[in-house]
Amino acid sequence: MLYNEMMIMGIDEVGRGPWAGPLVIGAVVLGGAKIEGLTDSKKLSKKRREELDVLIREQAAGFGLGWVSPEEIDTIGLSAALRLATVRAVEQVKAPYHEIIIDGTINFLQETTKGKYVTTLAKGDLLVPSISAASIIAKVARDAYMAEQDDIYPGYGFKSHVGYGTAAHITAIDQLGVTPLHRLSFAPLKKYAPVATVKTTKQIGDEAETVAADFLIHRGHTILERNWKTKFCEIDIISNRLDVIFFTEVKYRRSAAQGGGIAAITPKKLQQMRFATEMYVVKNDLRNVDIRLAVLTMKNEPPEVEDFLEVE
* Domain ranges, ordered by start, for the chain: 5-192, 201-310
For residues 242 and 290, is the Cβ–Cβ distance under 8 A? Answer: no
Give residue-wise pLDDT tens across range 106-122: 999 998 889 999 999 99
Q: Does position 198 have pLDDT exceeding 70, yes or no?
A: no
Give residue-wise pLDDT tens across range 175-184: 999 999 999 9
Establish whether the linkage from the previous residue to 180 is cis, with ω within 30° of 0: no
Q: Does position 197 have pLDDT exceeding 80, yes or no?
A: no
Q: Please list the residues that pair with 298 across neighbouring strands.
A: 252, 305
- What mean pLDDT is predicted for residues 63-86? 94
Using CA of residue 173, residue 21, residue 101, residue 54, what is the dihedral sign? Answer: negative
Q: Which comes out higher in pLDDT, residue 164 or 279?
A: 164
Q: Which comes out higher in pLDDT, residue 204 or 141?
A: 141
Q: What is the pLDDT of residue 11?
A: 98
- Give residue 91's identity as a one-letter amino acid code: E
Q: By CB neighbour count within 10 A (0-12 exposed, 13-18 middle, 19+ buried), where does 157 fall?
A: middle
- What mean pLDDT is predicted for residues 10-33? 96
Q: Does position 200 have pLDDT exceeding 80, yes or no?
A: no
Helix H segments across 60-123? 70-76, 78-92
Q: What pTM, to 2 d.p., does this model score? A: 0.63
Q: What mean pLDDT value characterizes the chain? A: 89
Q: Does position 79 have pLDDT exceeding 80, yes or no?
A: yes
- What mean pLDDT is predicted for residues 152-172? 96
Task: Give the closest residue to 128 by CA, choosing from 100, 163, 152.
Answer: 100
Q: Does position 272 have pLDDT exceeding 80, yes or no?
A: yes
Cα–Cα distance list, 227 to 95, 247, 295 (Å): 58, 11, 14
H or E element, residue 211: helix 201-218
Q: What superfamily would CATH give domain 5-192?
A: Ribonuclease H-like superfamily/Ribonuclease H (3.30.420.10)
Q: What is the pLDDT of residue 16?
A: 95
Q: By CB neighbour count within 10 A (0-12 exposed, 13-18 middle, 19+ buried), where does 7 fall?
A: middle
Q: What is the pLDDT of residue 257?
A: 47
Measured distance between the N- and C-terminal CA atoms of the chain, rounded to whole angstroms: 69
Q: What is the distance between the alpha carbons of residues 212 and 232, in angstroms, rounded to a whole number?
A: 24
Task: Give the closest residue to 7 by CA, choosing from 39, 38, 29, 40.
Answer: 29
Report the top-level CATH class of 201-310. Answer: alpha beta
Cα–Cα distance list, 200 to 24, 89, 248, 260 (Å): 39, 41, 23, 19
Q: Does position 3 have pLDDT exceeding 80, yes or no?
A: no
Q: What is the pLDDT of residue 263?
A: 60
Q: By CB neighbour count within 10 A (0-12 exposed, 13-18 middle, 19+ buried), where does 60 fall?
A: buried
